């Protein structure tokens, strides 16, 4: 039977975490199997040597301060992969990880006290947190996708109605508080039902996609464009008055109407009508602006389509 100290030595050496110890001058006092296997340096190569001579890549100034703090304050210290992904450049043995370069590490620095209570060494444990980090990053990516999906329209890829209304609401209150004009363009594809009836729903979908793509490319970076529903789109124009909004709407109308849309071998002549409205002091909610733009849009339809009304 191994005795207790043999067992302890074995446990420290073969534990599936990194364990090493440093003196005040950063000389290595202990270097277990895990550290040797992952660093490629056997304990005989590093013990008695300065840690930074063995591993010049380590963040020296920071780590010296950290260890000095443990000696001086007789206190634990910690590092987490969440803020500092790694101390040592160890490979993580998971080649298919996407974006994680080295083993993610969580470390605890423990003061080793002698009989008189003085700190004589610092013992460091290093835990491989790569699996946690990978799971966490996958979760973050999934969350980003969910957030993206929640605000985008599945067919056209532009913002959906909910996001459009959220942004309009924000811009509405910003404009009321800080001043500055705010306009809204509602844009509707003319005779969209006819496209669906004559060419089929797939053609209708393609028309929506092409119109969305053309408008997306044309709007300014500060404008917010989305699909309001059906064949109706909305463009929020912060910092733009009604005259400017008319110019934008007319440009968008020409962009869609001026050139036939290619669907299979057919060129579809598509036109759009636009209604434009600007936020006025008497408006108390953003919905009133939508209503106003919608009214203008119906007038554009009544007056013969393929035009802009304000």
Partner 1 sequence: MHRDALQEVANVAMGEAGAKLAELLDTFVRLSVPRILISDAAEVPDTLGKLLEPHNAVTAVRQSFLSRIQGEAIVLFGEAGCAELADLMGYDGVLAPSERREVLLDIANVLVGACLGGVFRQFGLELGFTAPSLLAEDTPAQRLIRADTLDWSRALLVEVNFRLEQGAFSSHLIVLLPERSIDRMRESLDQIIAAL
Active site residues: 231
Q: Indicate whether 32 belongs to the interface with partner 1 (CB under 8 A).
A: no
Contacts of 93 (CB under 8 A, 6+ apart): 103
Closer residue to partner 1, CB minimum distance, 125 or 271: 125
CA 188-193-199 angle, to 5 degrees, is 120
User: Rounded to whole angstroms, how far apart are CA atoms 99 and 7?
Assistant: 39
Rounded to the nearest whole angstrom, what is the least distance from the CB of residue 264 to partner 1 in the complex?
A: 50
Rounded to the nearest whole angstrom, what is the least distance from the CB of residue 21 to partner 1 in the complex?
A: 18
Closer residue to partner 1, CB minimum distance, 74 or 194: 74
In the chain, the largest separation of any two C-alpha atoms, in whole Å, equals: 99
- Sign of the alpha-carbon torsion through 143, 145, 148, 151: negative
Q: Which residues, 44 to 83, sit near partner 1 by CB under 8 A?
A: 61-66, 68-69, 72-80, 82-83
Closer residue to partner 1, CB minimum distance, 84 or 176: 84
Q: Binder to partner 1 among 41, 49, 84, 305 (CB under 8 A)?
A: 84
Closer residue to partner 1, CB minimum distance, 131 or 303: 131
Contacts of 183 (CB under 8 A, 6+ apart): 236, 237, 240, 241, 242, 244, 245, 276, 277, 278, 279
Rounded to the nearest whole angstrom, what is the least distance from the CB of residue 233 to partner 1 in the complex?
A: 36
Rounded to the nearest whole angstrom, what is the least distance from the CB of residue 94 to partner 1 in the complex?
A: 22
Q: Are 120 and 16 within 8 A, CB to CB?
A: no
Rounded to the nearest whole angstrom, what is the least distance from the CB of residue 95 to partner 1 in the complex?
A: 25
The residue among 66, 55, 70 whose CA lies nearest residue 102 is: 55
Q: How many residues bind partner 1 (CB under 8 A)?
A: 22
Q: Which residues, 102 to 131, sit near partner 1 by CB under 8 A?
A: 106, 108
Backbone angles phi, psi at 150, to 5 degrees: -70, -20
Neighbours of 176 (CB within 10 A): 15
Distance of CA 111 to the CA centre of its chain: 39
CA distances (Å), 222 to each of 160, 233, 246, 280, in order?
A: 17, 17, 16, 20
Closer residue to partner 1, CB minimum distance, 116 or 284: 116
Residues of the shown chain interacting with partner 1 in the complex, contacts defined by CB under 8 A:
61-66, 68-69, 72-80, 82-84, 106, 108
């Amino acid at each position: 039977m191994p005795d207790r100290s043999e067992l302890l030595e074995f446990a420290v050496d073969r534990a599936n975490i990194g364990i090493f110890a440093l003196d005040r001058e950063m000389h290595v006092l202990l270097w277990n199997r895990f550290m040797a296997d992952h660093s490629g340096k056997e304990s005989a190569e590093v013990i008695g040597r300065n840690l930074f001579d063995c591993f010049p890549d380590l963040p020296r100034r920071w780590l010296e301060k950290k260890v000095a703090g443990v000696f001086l304050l007789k206190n634990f210290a910690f590092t987490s992969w969440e803020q500092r992904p790694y101390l040592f450049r160890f490979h993580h043995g998971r080649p298919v990880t996407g974006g994680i370069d080295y083993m993610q590490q969580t470390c605890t620095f423990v003061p080793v006290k002698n009989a008189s209570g003085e700190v004589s060494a610092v013992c460091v444990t290093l835990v491989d947190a790569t699996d946690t980090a990978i799971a966490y990053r996958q979760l973050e990516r999934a969350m980003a996708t969910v957030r993206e999906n929640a605000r985008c329209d599945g067919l056209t890829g532009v913002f959906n109605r909910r996001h459009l209304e959220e942004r309009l609401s924000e811009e509405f209150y910003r404009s009321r508080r800080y001043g500055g004009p705010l306009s809204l363009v509602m844009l509707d594809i003319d005779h969209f039902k006819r496209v669906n009836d004559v060419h089929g729903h797939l053609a209708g979908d393609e028309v929506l996609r092409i119109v969305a793509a053309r408008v997306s490319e044309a709007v300014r970076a500060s404008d917010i464009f989305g699909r309001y529903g059906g064949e109706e789109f909305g463009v929020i124009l912060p910092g733009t008055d009604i005259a400017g909004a008319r110019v934008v709407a007319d440009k968008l109308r020409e962009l869609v109407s001026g050139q036939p849309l290619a669907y299979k071998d057919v060129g579809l002549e598509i036109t759009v009508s636009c209604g434009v409205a600007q936020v006025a002091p008497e408006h108390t909610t953003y919905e009133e602006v939508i209503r106003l733009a919608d009214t203008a849009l119906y007038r554009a339809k009544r007056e013969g389509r393929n035009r802009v009304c304000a």
